[in-house]
Amino acid sequence: MFFHIFKYRVKQLFHVRELIFWTFAFPILLGTMFYFSFGHLLNSNDFKFKPIPVALVSESTPNSPFETVLDQLGQANDKQLFTITKASNNEEALQLLKDRKIDGIIYSTETPTVSVSGDGLNQSIIKSFIEQYLQHDYMFKQIATNHPDKLTDSINLMSQNISFNKEISFSNSKMDSLSQYFYALIALVCLYGSFTGLNTVINIQANLSALGARREVSPAHKLVVILAEFCASVLVNFMSVLLLFFYLIVILKIDFGSKIVLILLTSFAGSVIGVSSGTFLGSLGKWSDKTKESLVMAVTMICCFLSGLMYNGMKDLIEHTCPIINRINPAALITDCLYSLNMYDTYDRFISDIAIMGIMAFLLCIGSFLLLRRNKYASI
């Protein structure tokens, strides 16, 4: 009986067009959209710095030390910072700026100044360079005035480029904040299982459908029916997650780290919790099937929103304001599992997340069965 119901449930699910679209096709479309929206930012290693085009306007008495520094920075080598165009006068430089051929104008005066258009990265670099030059210039003049014997040591020290910060990574992995969107997408697909879970309940409850009435009068034991349908729903949902993974990893080349088996385990647990949550929500109350569909939709989308599907920083915001939500939100648990697998070398956080998901799924399943056991209805 179990395999008979299981087999036909799998067949049914693969013939429901809406299910095929929303569970299999839509996540791939959404993942593709994410990729084309954020994908180039994920490949930050390909970023190459281009020298900033500037114009140099020299006064009648140019600042020779400053122009020497500029010439050094304008030389064509690995450390080239600027591409310098020498303007004969201010009007020529302004015209170049207006025509967007340069990002800023540097005035070689006693106190160098800069004129930029806009607020971009290049403009910030130009302004930062001028500020740093002026700071160092003042500092060296002060040392030369007050401690001339230390001037040589000071110049040597400044040349060494000592950093007072050291970057220490938590793990050997590299991670960027935009991967969170893909984790949330996987969580969404897992939670789409709630719709098949709900559909199961509708098809076995006499007060929700004629099919349910027909099945309730059959000699098939309710526990067997629920289990068989549940397993079939989990299988189909897990297959949709696998397909999404295949697409993201093989086609879009999104990096999820190397712990593939544990990632698959997370996805399976996510599918279980998705289907069981739909089954539980469908078992609640005496509402119509349409009301229950709306409830499942609302709960799924809220969970996904709170896990960062629509706004990257949402999960972090919740963690700081109401962390308990992240501990019980299935979508947040799934994304956290994927994040911890990618970020950390230890498994403590992953194991605790999986354990919470397992307990939640178990309780939801038990709750569903206890509610669905009620075999007689006040009205149909």
Partner 1 sequence: MNTSVVKIENLVKRYKELIAVDHFNLNLEKGEILGLLGPNGSGKTTTLNCLLSLLTYDKGNIEVFGKKMRPDSYDLKKDIGVVLQNVALFDSLTVYENIDFFCGLYITDKKLRKQYVEEAIEFVELTEFRKFYPRKLSGGLLRRLNIACGIAHKPKLIILDEPTVAVDPQSRNKILEGILDLNKKGATIIYTSHYMEEVEQICSRIVIMDKGKNLANGTANELKMMIKNNETIYIDVLNLTNENIANIKQLNHVYSADYSNNQLVVKCNGGTHNLIHVMNYLQDNNINFGRVHSELPTLNDVFLEITGKELRD
Judged by CB under 8 A, does residue 215 bind partner 1?
A: yes
- One of 57, 130, 191, 216 touching partner 1 (CB under 8 A): 216
Burial of residue 368, with CB atoms counted within 10 A of its CB: 0-12 exposed, 13-18 middle, 19 or more buried: buried
Residues 6 or more apart whose CB falls under 8 angstroms from that of 48 comprise none
Judged by CB under 8 A, does residue 290 bind partner 1?
A: no
Binding piece for partner 1, criterion CB under 8 A, among 166-174, 213-221, 237-245, 299-307? 213-221
How many residues are recorded in the chain? 380
Residue (72 or 288) nearer to partner 1, CB: 288
What is the C-alpha separation between 112 and 134, in angstroms, rounded?
Answer: 8
- One of 81, 220, 235, 371 touching partner 1 (CB under 8 A): 220
Binding piece for partner 1, criterion CB under 8 A, among 11-19, 158-166, 269-277, 286-294? 11-19
Residue (15 or 79) nearer to partner 1, CB: 15
Residue (40 or 221) nearer to partner 1, CB: 221
Residue (4 or 101) nearer to partner 1, CB: 4
What is the C-alpha separation between 115 and 106, in angstroms, rounded?
Answer: 7
Judged by CB under 8 A, does residue 12 bind partner 1?
A: yes
- One of 214, 253, 363, 370 touching partner 1 (CB under 8 A): 214
Stretch 172-211: interaction string toward partner 1, x if CB under 8 A: ----------------------------------x--xxx
* Cβ-contact 186, 341 below 8 angstroms: no
Q: Dmax of the chain from CA atoms?
A: 103
- One of 76, 162, 168, 217 touching partner 1 (CB under 8 A): 217
Residue (3 or 47) nearer to partner 1, CB: 3
What is the C-alpha separation between 126 and 114, in angstroms, rounded?
Answer: 8
Phi and psi, residue 344, nearest 5°:
-105, 155
Judged by CB under 8 A, does residue 141 bind partner 1?
A: no
Q: Which pair of structure tokens corresponds to residue 51? A: 């020298």
What is the C-alpha separation between 242 and 303, in angstroms, rounded?
Answer: 21
Judged by CB under 8 A, does residue 380 bind partner 1?
A: yes
Q: How many residues interact with partner 1 (rule CB under 8 A)?
A: 28
Residue (86 or 373) nearer to partner 1, CB: 373
Q: Which pair of structure tokens corresponds to residue 196? A: 């098949």
Residue with tokens 């709750």: 367
Binding piece for partner 1, criterion CB under 8 A, among 29-37, 218-226, 227-235, 348-356? 218-226
Question: How many other CB atoms are there within 10 angstroms of residue 374's CB atom?
Answer: 11
Residue (298 or 380) nearer to partner 1, CB: 380
Residue 311 C-beta: closest distance to partner 1, Å: 37
Half-sphere exposure of 128 toward its Cβ, with a 13 Å CA cutoff? 9
Judged by CB under 8 A, does residue 15 bind partner 1?
A: yes
For every residue of 162-216, DSSP letters joined together read --S-----SSS----TTHHHHHHHHHHHHHTHHHHHHHHHHHH-TTT-HHHHHHH
Residue 309 C-beta: closest distance to partner 1, Å: 29
* Cβ-contact 104, 114 below 8 angstroms: yes
Residue (233 or 329) nearer to partner 1, CB: 233
* Cβ-contact 38, 179 below 8 angstroms: no
Residue (211 or 351) nearer to partner 1, CB: 211
Judged by CB under 8 A, does residue 8 bind partner 1?
A: yes
Residue with tokens 């629509």: 310
Binding-site ranges for partner 1 (CB under 8 A): 1, 4-5, 8, 11-13, 15-16, 206, 209-211, 213-221, 375-380
